[in-house]
Each structure stands twice: as C-alpha cells, then as structure tokens.
Structure 1
C-alpha cells in the first residue's frame, strides 16, 4: 500500500475574523484561523487532506485597564502557568466558516471555535492584558466532482 502526498494550491474564498466578548469586562477577543498549506494524501483509492495553519488572536481592551508594558513573547506553556482568571465566561458575537477552493476542485470549509478564554497575569508591549485562548477547528470537505 503506497501513500502519496501532494501539496495543493488553493484560493481563499473567505477567511473572516470570529469575535467573542468576555462577559465581566466586555473585552473583545478576535480570532482568525489562517491556512498556510494543504496537502492531499492518497492511499488505497481514498483521499484525505492535511491542513496546516495558525490561529491569530487579537484583544480589544475595552475597559482601558492597563498594566506595566512588557515586550516579552511568551510561549503558550508559559502562559498556562500565569492564569489570573481561568475559564472566563464569554459570548460569541460572530463565528463564521473559512472557505478554500483547491486546485483539485475540492472545497474545504474550516471553523475555528473558541473553547476557553483565560486572563493571565501578564501584559503586552502596550500594557494590555494577555489572554490565553484555546480553539477547536472543525473541518468540512466537499470532494472534487467525479468524472
């Protein structure tokens, strides 16, 4: 049984920002999953897709409460140890599917959904609080038409 991997070119049809509001301080968390590479994996007449990407997260500090600015770049593991308010309550303001058209005529849809938001004790270079945000990515594939 041979496995073939083929990188595919793709067109971004839609890659929107998703938006969440933290209930106690009205901070806005925006996330976007950005696809960087799609690989078609074929084995025994079956095809699957491997999606590589990255979740971008930005915070709009509505409360205006600031801390001491810190330009340190923290790893996710380091932030997990700095939780001030874990598992904060939030509401979903906007959550949409990403869509990509592949050069093999398949269409892939992804939705990155926030699963938890925690406020850390750390602050970014502007003095805004740093939040630790966990996501789950859902996948839908519409295979290419068969001839």
Structure 2
C-alpha cells in the first residue's frame, strides 16, 4: 500500500492511501476550516498517557475547544461524527482538563468539545461537518 500519495513515477496522485494519511489530511482540513472562522490552533495531536486531542483551538471569545476530527472516505460505516460516542466525549473532557493543567498560561472564558467530520473522495474533501458543544 502506498502511503506517500505518489504514483510509481514519483508524482503526487492526490489520493490518500492509508488511514494515518487520511487522518492527517482530515485534521489539516479541519484546522483550516476552523481558522478561517476565526479560531486559533493552540495544539495539534497533543498526547498523554490517557489519549490524544486532535486539535485544541481558542475561539475569538476565549472559549477553548477540544476538537475531535473524524475523517472517512464514505458513509458505509455511518457519518464520521457519529463515531464520537458519549464515552469518547467524557474522555475528551478529561483530556482537555489535563491539557489546560499543562498549559496554565491559557486563559479560557469557557470550555467546549466539538467534532469535525470530514468526508474525502478521490483525495478531495467533499464535506466538512462541524458539530459544536457535543454532549453539552
């Protein structure tokens, strides 16, 4: 399986070939989508022993948001945002609290958990769906 996004001649195919690359592309698209709407990315792929936050952003009003990004090539297994269960939402809340403890200089006017679902076909985004305040 090619993971470089290149064909045998070394030229870019524009196709996302493996899950990690698919996720990376989705996270980049989500970050761009959010920044175009005024958010500022504070962290990408922040990890600790309990898990990972795909994105941590701050909204113009000071709300700090943990963003779970789900990227898929189709909806055969459901809409990407449906993959964020209540158990996952609880873990995201714990991770965001831990991220804030490790980043005390960040002053938050509020906290939120969002999900961005990205559908990609033939290497191109066809849908970016942003759900704010999941599990609130």
Q: TM-score, normalised by structure 2?
A: 0.28
| More strand by percentage | 1
| More helix by percentage | 2
